[in-house]
């Protein structure tokens, strides 16, 4: 698992910026930023927050290496959660209410934001387990 510093280095490399250029954009000095990248010091919340805002990065990914890297990816995950949930509801013989369907969409979306690489089949399996537990 990569460290916060390694993920910051990854972002900097993707943006094709020097340490100095990246540091200026997140409000710190080049020397401080170098210590974050090397893992010699933890990046302060102000730097993490600025990096997330400046580079459209999901804070959960930057801090913990979990979920989608880009915040914009959340709309794609929401669309996928909606599609999988609608198909599941359509294909599952349960007397669905709007509230139940909404809860299952939120469950799907929450799961996908934490496990973006999960297959639709696994998401369906998870929804089946949730239906079984609800009965």
pTM, rounded to two decimals:
0.59
User: How many CA atoms within 13 Å lie on the side-chain side of 6?
Assistant: 5
Give the integer Cα–Cα distance in Å for 24 and 4. 18
Query: What's the fold here for domain 4-64?
Result: 434 Repressor (Amino-terminal Domain) (1.10.260)
pLDDT digits (tens, 9 = 90+) for 40-99: 999 999 999 999 999 989 888 899 888 778 876 777 888 888 999 999 999 988 888 888
Give the integer Cα–Cα distance in Å for 88 and 81. 10
Nearest of 53, 46, 15 to residue 29 by alpha carbon: 46
Going by pLDDT thresholds of 50, 70 and 90, the confidence category of residue 110 is: confident
Domain positions in the chain: 4-64, 73-134
């Amino acid at each position: 698992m990569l460290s916060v510093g390694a993920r910051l280095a990854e972002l900097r490399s993707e943006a094709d910026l020097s340490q100095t250029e990246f540091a200026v954009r997140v409000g710190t000095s080049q020397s401080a930023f170098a210590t974050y990248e090397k893992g010699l010091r933890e990046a302060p919340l102000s730097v993490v927050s600025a990096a997330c805002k400046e580079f459209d990065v999901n804070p959960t990914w930057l801090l913990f290496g979990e979920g989608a890297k880009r915040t914009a990816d959340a709309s794609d995950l929401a669309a996928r959660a909606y599609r999988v949930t609608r198909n599941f509801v359509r294909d599952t013989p349960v007397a669905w209410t709007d509230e139940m369907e909404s809860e299952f969409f939120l469950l799907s979306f929450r799961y996908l934001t934490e496990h973006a690489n999960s297959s639709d089949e696994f998401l369906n399996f998870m929804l089946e387990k949730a239906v079984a537990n609800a009965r």
